[in-house]
Every structure is written in C-alpha cells, then in structure tokens.
Amino acid sequence: MTASSYHDTVNVLQGLCQPAPSPFERSEWFALLAESGLTPLVVLASEGNSSAALALTEANGRIEPLRNWYSFTWRQLAPEGPAGERLLVEIAAQLRRRSHRVTLWPVPEEDGSASLLTRSFREAGWAVEQTRCDDNHVLPVNGRSFAEYWAQRPGKMRTTLKRKAKKVECTILESFDAEAWVQYEAIYAQSWKVAEETPQLLRRFAEQEGSAGRIRLALAMHNGLPVAAQFWTVENGTAYIHKLAHLESHKNLSAGTTLTAALFEHVIDKDRVTLVDFGTGNDAYKSDWMEEVRPRFQVDCLDPAQPKAWAPLAKRAVRKLAPSRTQG
C-alpha cells in the first residue's frame, strides 16, 4: 500500500537519495534554502521500505521546485526502478489536490530525470509539456592529465596563461577560511557580477562544504592584493564551479584565467575528478574551458480537470500551432 503526505519541513528528506547525485539533492542544501526564507512543501510517498519525495515550494500561483539561483539542478528524490516510479506517480496524483499547476526546472536528462518526471505526471492525469530551458557546460576528463587537457585548449588561452601567470600568486584552500571568504566577497562586490541574492546562504554552504572537506576556495594575489577568487567543491568524482570573480580594476592581469587554470590542474591531477561541472548558463567563456553541453529541462504540468488550468492550456495549444501556421 502506498501512503503520501505533505510536510512543511525538510527534515523528512534526511536519508533519501543516498548518496546524493549532486550537492543540490542533500537535505542540508534544502535546509539552507528554508533558512533563507523559502517555505518548503515536501511531498513524501512510501511503499514498504521504499520512499520518494519532491522538494517543492508554493510561489507565483503554482508549485515550483525548492531551489534558488545557486542550484545547478533540481530533480526527484526517488529510488531507481518501478518502485520509485510508482511512488512518483502517487506524489503527482497527490499534487492535483493541491494546485492546478506544477512547474519543475532545471531538470537533468542525462540520468533520465526529465523523462521520468514527465512520464509520472502524465500517468497521474496531468497535461505535461517538457521544454529545454537551459544548458549545463561540463568537461569529461576522460583520463587526461591537466597538461594533456591544457594542450587542447584554444591557443589564445594558452598564450594568455603563459604571458600572465607569473603576475599573480594562486592559493587553493581545502577547508573554509573566514578571512579568505571575506576577501572573496570583497572581490565579488567589485567585479562585473550582479549582487548576490542571498550571500549568507552561500557562506553557510561554503562552511558546510569546508567541514566536509569538499571545498576548493582559491585566491589570486597581485603584490599582496587579492584580485581574483573562486569557489569550487569536489565530491563523488565531480568538481563543481560555483562562483568566480575578479577585480575589474585589475582585469589586465588575466588573474581569472590563471586562477581557473590552477584549479583545473588541482582537481584533475590531485583530486582525480572525472567530470568538471560549470553549472548553467551560456556565458561565452565557458565553451573555452568545457567540451560538452547537457540540456536542462522545464517540466510544466497543468491539470485539465481544474478551470484555473484552462487558460494556460489554451495558450500552450496556440503556441504549438504557431509554427505550423507560419509554415503554411
């Protein structure tokens, strides 16, 4: 017998989906999101010894993922196989009693998550549209050393590093350091980046990753002045590039390039990662460092039995007809 329930706390997620496929499926991550002001709506389903959950929140007149702009991905917390899919169908059915619309993103597909969620919600009676919403740039290391990887980078990058590397001194920390974090925040504030939405959340995350030995916090110094900083983490054979920034006033040093190269060398040759994940977004510079692009999907679910869903369903239908009208 399958039982499902709603929860307004993320504590029920402890122990689910272990080991977590990324930092963004751990219960500690969802706890940080709740601390930052998001209100959790966790839907849990159980059958025998198996459990599955979706970590969600209610916002913008619909149900959305419990996530923020730091999250590279969002996906279901469910065991693989038929049991996990049955539990997800039960959760999807339960959600029809809560809202007329559930919109999930950015969902990966390399592990089948987008297809699984689309299939589960459809089976539960939702009208589902799956569309590509973002891109994830990654580097499969494929057994290369850093030297072998670097030899395959664009000539301009290699020339820049050769000319500028000696102008800065790079330090890579594998534990959280409060002073280094203050320097990172100062650099970020003077960089080209937009202001952080919830900087305290990111610091708490960095502290947690530092305690677990997963952090790679790096600084580039020029004549004693911190001019570039980056925040990475490493786990389960993957290096995640979370944040990078440099002082616009010292852009001519190319400290960002030097620091990124130092971190790539560290995670490839020392940490022996098999994948480097540069997150989402299509910033032009990412293609110089990365070699593959993985799609991220939005799974938009509307309940045709509820009047509130009829207008967005009609808009969806018109949008699907538009290309054929243009061709005609």
Q: What domains appear along the chain, each with residue ranges and CATH number?
A: 2-136+294-327 (3.40.630), 143-273 (3.40.630.30)
Q: pLDDT value at position 2?
A: 78
- Distance (Å, rounded) from C-alpha 218 to C-alpha 172? 4
Query: Which amino acid type is present at position 98?
Result: R
Of 13, 20, 15, the residue nearest 53 (C-alpha)? 13
What span, in angstroms and rounded, lies between the C-alpha atoms of 307 and 23? 38
pLDDT at 287: 92
Residue-level pLDDT at 197: 78
3-state helix, strand, coil in the chain (%, to 5): 40, 30, 30
Distance CA 78, CA 90 (A): 12
The per-residue pLDDT for 4 is 86
- 65: preceding bond cis by omega (within 30 degrees): no
Helix extents (H) in 36-145:
82-95, 113-123
Strand partners, 172: 218
Residues with pLDDT less than 50, the chain: 325-328
**Tokens encoding 28:** 């500690």
Short-list 252, 199, 156, 158, CA closest to 69:
199
SS3 177: coil
Other CB atoms within 10 Å distance of the CB of residue 271: 17
